[in-house]
């Protein structure tokens, strides 16, 4: 499987533009993490890109979310490692995260929401002037980016990063694709 095939599948299955942007942001952060850890950028990027491919398909059955996604990814030719990471990123299933890839996806998924919220409260609504320091200050505010699980983001410690390092890495990755994200 290659990125073009995965992106085409995402665009065919997902109609919500903001959800696609979330998946692109997750891909960018996962690629950056792969570089940091000396892992396969392609595999990690595809994991991020495909992780929510089934959200709209399972919106009436949220307990099926990520199971359907893992099946769709497998049909596209994704490796078992990618499929497992997609499965376990939905904590509702209770599937343990056993690999670095699994744990990275779990903490990266909600980080994109925190960073996007940080951009959207800025006067220019852009990532350009946003700093990791400002995001770290807002991290403790439960009403800010309320849907971004702080517990999952803080699980970055399970991949050997401090919260400060992880937020800075994620912000830089998303700033690198700011035009694609409309931010």
- Look at residue 125 in the predicted model and tell me its pLDDT: 97
- Look at residue 12 in the predicted model and tell me its pLDDT: 97
What domain count does the chain have? 1
Q: Which domain holds residue 144?
A: 3-181
- Look at residue 42 in the predicted model and tell me its pLDDT: 98
Predicted confidence pLDDT, tens digits, the chain (183 residues): 899 999 999 999 999 999 999 999 999 999 999 999 999 999 999 999 999 999 999 999 988 999 999 999 999 999 999 999 999 999 888 899 999 999 999 999 999 999 999 999 999 999 999 999 999 999 999 999 999 999 999 999 999 999 999 999 999 999 999 999 999
- Look at residue 91 in the predicted model and tell me its pLDDT: 82
- Look at residue 92 in the predicted model and tell me its pLDDT: 83
- Look at residue 62 in the predicted model and tell me its pLDDT: 87
CA angle 103-57-74, nearest 5°? Answer: 55
CATH number at residue 136: 1.10.3210.10
- Look at residue 79 in the predicted model and tell me its pLDDT: 98
Q: What are phi and psi of 159, to 5 degrees?
A: -110, 10
Q: Is the separation of the CB atoms in 31 and 41 below 8 Å?
A: yes
**H helices present in the chain, as ranges:** 3-13, 17-37, 41-50, 67-75, 80-88, 100-120, 132-139, 150-154, 163-175, 178-181
- Look at residue 93 in the predicted model and tell me its pLDDT: 85
Torsion sign, CA atoms 130, 136, 141, 145: positive
Q: Is the separation of the CB atoms in 41 and 28 below 8 Å?
A: no
């Amino acid at each position: 499987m290659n990125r073009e095939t995965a992106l085409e599948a995402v665009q065919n299955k997902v109609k919500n533009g903001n959800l696609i942007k979330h998946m692109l942001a997750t891909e960018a952060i996962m690629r950056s993490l792969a570089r940091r850890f000396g892992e396969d950028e392609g595999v990690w990027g595809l994991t991020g890109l495909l992780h929510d491919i089934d959200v709209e398909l399972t919106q009436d059955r949220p307990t099926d979310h990520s199971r359907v996604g893992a099946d769709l990814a497998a049909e596209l030719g994704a490796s078992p490692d990618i499929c497992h990471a997609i499965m376990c990123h939905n904590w509702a299933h209770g599937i343990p995260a056993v690999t670095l890839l699994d744990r990275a996806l779990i903490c990266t998924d909600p980080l994109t929401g925190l960073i996007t919220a940080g951009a959207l409260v800025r006067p220019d609504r852009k990532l350009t002037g946003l700093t990791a320091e400002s995001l770290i200050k807002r991290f403790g505010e439960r009403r800010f980016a309320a849907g971004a699980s702080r517990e999952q983001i803080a699980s970055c410690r399970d991949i050997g990063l401090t919260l400060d390092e992880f937020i800075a890495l994620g912000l830089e990755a998303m700033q690198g694709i700011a035009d694609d994200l409309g931010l």
